[in-house]
Amino acid sequence: MLDSQAGMPVKQSKWQEEVCAWLNRYPAKANYLVGVSGGVDSRVLLQVLLDAGLTNLMVCHLDHGLRGESRRDAEFVQRLAKRLGLPFFMERVTEWPSKLSVETAARQMRQQFFARAANKFGAAYIFLGHHADDQVETFLLNVVRGTGSIGQAAMRQETRIIVDDSELILVRPLLRTWKTDIREFAARRRLRFLEDATNQENNFTRNRIRNLLIPEIERILGRPFKPSVLRLSEIAAEESELLQQLVPPIWQAEELRTENLRKLPVALQRRVIHQWLNWRRISNVGFDEVERIRAMLTDREIAKVNLPGDHCCRRRAGRLFVEAVRGTSQRSE
């Protein structure tokens, strides 16, 4: 391998060797999308993919328009793609949904953006620059918010999602790589990237976890905290996969029979209900919504549960079903 600037041989670190070995599962000549923001994480990801021999890459950039420097970021990524001889796909957000949080709306728009890019480039795999620090922050954030399952609190190295009837596979090769290693790689390879000043601001919960909570926990403990959280997130995800194998396929239906759900252990009841709601395209479902629906299995006084996105779950004649909220609804029996 040669240095991207000086043309000198470069010795791979242990994490690079592990990532490149993991990337061997992906055919080198296939088409792939790469989400590039212009920051150090996605810039290093792009270089690692090229080093691994994945050259049929489309650089994708979504300009959310939330920061004054967003246009500068888009132009930087466009110049980078041109210099590397890679196709470039970009869109700008011109209108935000009014009923969704910024975080939820941004996630949905990114997924729809990737779906359009995938259709244009003939690719289903999207490489993303999430790393180990992101994993720790995401895990802690989801636990604090009250995730439906600790095994679902962490990101996966490969996640399949359905967007507008198209299947996309989100791939995170750097999910076990720490930010310090990413920055060291960028410095050693003399890679240019942009710094996002908002990462240092504490206006958002994730930033407060990164900048305030984790350093304070490590100060109190007197030792690193993040490796333990990363290990816990991986163990939880592995155990969740084992439990998933026990989930009966009854969630792939328009309605759920309460009799069938009652026969399952509580852990499987929760998983069936959560997967059923996801299958019905109900997003942002948490532990509270799942538990309220579970209560309908035994409490005859509860026959309706409100859900995110102007939907509700009703019970009628021993069946659970989802419907859109239409103004004033009458209670089901």
- Domain-embedded: residue 237: no
Range of the domain at 165: 14-205
Q: Are residues 52 and 198 in the same domain?
A: yes
Tally of structural domains, the chain: 2
Q: Are residues 112 and 256 in the same domain?
A: no
- Domain-embedded: residue 233: no
232 vs 135: CA distance, rounded Å: 11
Q: Are residues 140 and 276 in the same domain?
A: no
- Domain-embedded: residue 231: no
174 vs 151: CA distance, rounded Å: 20
List the one residue out of 13, 21, 19 whose CA is nearest residue 176: 19
pLDDT truncated to tens, each residue of the chain (333 aa)?
544 444 455 678 899 999 999 999 999 999 999 999 999 999 999 999 999 999 999 999 999 876 667 788 999 999 999 999 999 999 998 877 776 677 778 888 899 999 999 999 999 999 999 999 999 999 998 888 776 667 778 899 999 988 887 899 999 999 999 999 999 999 999 999 998 777 777 877 888 999 999 999 999 999 999 999 999 999 988 988 888 899 999 999 999 999 999 999 999 999 999 989 988 888 778 788 899 999 999 988 888 999 987 899 999 999 999 999 875 443 333
Last residue of a domain, one of 152, 178, 205: 205
196 vs 326: CA distance, rounded Å: 43
